[in-house]
Amino acid sequence: MAELKLQHLEKVYDNKVKAVHDFNIDIKDGEFIVLVGPSGCGKSTTLRMVAGLEDITSGRLIIDGKDVTRMPPKDRDEAMVFQNYALYGHMTVYENMAFSLMLRKVDKNIIHQKVMAAAEILGLTSQLNKKPKQLSGGQRQRVAMGRAIVRNPKVFLFDEPLSNLDAKLRGAMRREILLLHKRLKATIIYVTHDQTEALTLADRIVCMSMGHVQQIGTPLELYDTPANLFVASFIGLPPMNLFDVTVDGDKLVCEDFTYQLTGEQHALLADYDGKEIVLGVRPENVVENGTIQFNITNNENLGQNTLVHGHIGKKKVVAKLHYWATYKFGDQINIGFDRVHFFDKETTNAIR
């Protein structure tokens, strides 16, 4: 396994489009890093630069102390798992898994031992003689992972590996990947646009937007203390409710409600008195006691939770209640917020 250093990585395409801006991260041995962000944010480009499938325009990539920036992919000792599996249709599962080692002219008996061990880990032993077309999506993805495992690479790279699977299978595969990581203790860089995958799998998440790193931190850090408005609205499902408010002494004032600050919050916002800021409230921090009038439009009952959609004035708001609520269109309730976040309106950074 390996330690990686990505230092000031940048990618500029021939048409002058800058896909990745000054990407920096030190990845520890055995760490599970998830790059998350919306489509086009540069996460896959970053992964492909690490894999060697894209040239690095500037910056350095160091694996285990060795600069591999200009090294061809085959010499980097990395294995990549793709979204579309990239399996050879005419080969059996066994042959697919053995192929990379066969190309390296490794002894067939050793290849066999490694393939069988990987198949055992992934529960593919009974599928080894089948062709990929005879397998389900989840099994195919496991074969793709198996192909990576047999190589025992320094780094595993996953490019949205679960995107082609249905929701149920995605959940199962997520747990398998997590177990695999615990078992192999491998260094993994995983790209996804699915925040659930990011939050459940990662040791650390790199949240990206428009080619820029927005925040690097543990899942809890990103959820609990988002660095800016982008992270606040991207991480969390449903996303955070955001209100433009003005700081007025120990109150936050907006068109439709007033929020009373605590002493600590008042001190935090002392420099912003009279200025506009953004108030962020996660749906799960909306509580059913307070003074803010909430006009309900509809309910989404999810079993143990209910998402209640509605308006505070003209502003759309979502509340997540931890029981089976039965509100109807037109119902009005008074709500409050038990936890809030503040963001500078100009810089969009969190106020801490």
Partner 1 sequence: MKKNTSYEGIVLSQEEVKAIKKDRLRFSKNKIPSSLTLLAILVNVFYFVSIYKTNLQQYYKPAIGISVLYNLMFMLFSFLSAEGIKNYKKTYGIVLIVIGLLQLLRIVYFPLKGITTPVSEVSTAKVMEVGQFIRTLIYLIGSGALLIVAGVIGYIKSVSLEKYRKEIGEEKPS
Binding site for partner 1 (CB under 8 A): 92, 94-95, 101, 104-110, 112-116, 128-129, 152
Task: Quickly count: other Cβ atoms within 10 Å of residue 5's Cβ.
Answer: 16
Least distance in Å: CB of 95 to partner 1? 8
Least distance in Å: CB of 128 to partner 1? 6
Residue number, 104 or 316, with CB nearest to partner 1: 104
Residue number, 80 or 101, with CB nearest to partner 1: 101
Residues 6 or more apart whose CB falls under 8 angstroms from that of 246 comprise 252, 253, 254, 274, 275, 276, 277
Residue number, 98 or 286, with CB nearest to partner 1: 98
Q: How far apart are CA 213 and CA 9, in angstroms?
A: 11
CA dihedral 2, 118, 197, 33 (to 10 degrees): 0
Q: How far apart are CA 131 and CA 82, in angstroms?
A: 18
> Please, are residues 268 and 306 in contact by the beta-carbon 8 Å criterion?
no
Least distance in Å: CB of 184 to partner 1? 14
Residue number, 61 or 101, with CB nearest to partner 1: 101
Residue found under tokens 């009952």: 301
Least distance in Å: CB of 179 to partner 1? 23
Q: Which two tokens stand for residue 58?
A: 């500037």
3 state SS of 304: coil
| Phi, psi values for residue 157, rounded to 5° | -120, 125
Amino acid at position 196, single letter? T
Least distance in Å: CB of 65 to partner 1? 20
Residue number, 8 or 112, with CB nearest to partner 1: 112
Cα 28 to Cα 32, 155, 189, 288: the distances in Å are: 9, 11, 11, 44
Residue number, 36 or 119, with CB nearest to partner 1: 119
Residues 6 or more apart whose CB falls under 8 angstroms from that of 297 comprise 309, 310, 311, 329
Least distance in Å: CB of 101 to partner 1? 8
Q: How far apart are the first and last CA of the chain?
A: 37
The 10 Å CB-count burial string (b at 16+, else e) for 84-93 is ebebeeeebb
Least distance in Å: CB of 108 to partner 1? 7
Least distance in Å: CB of 54 to partner 1? 28
Least distance in Å: CB of 110 to partner 1? 5
Nearest of 335, 342, 351 to residue 244 by alpha carbon: 342
Residue number, 114 or 341, with CB nearest to partner 1: 114
Nearest of 56, 239, 78 to residue 148 by alpha carbon: 78
Cα 55 to Cα 11, 48, 52: the distances in Å are: 8, 9, 7
> Please, are residues 87 and 96 in contact by the beta-carbon 8 Å criterion?
yes
Least distance in Å: CB of 104 to partner 1? 7
Residue number, 104 or 251, with CB nearest to partner 1: 104
Residue number, 105 or 328, with CB nearest to partner 1: 105
- Chain center to CA of 249: 38
Residue number, 105 or 314, with CB nearest to partner 1: 105
Q: Which residues pair with 43 in a beta bridge?
A: none
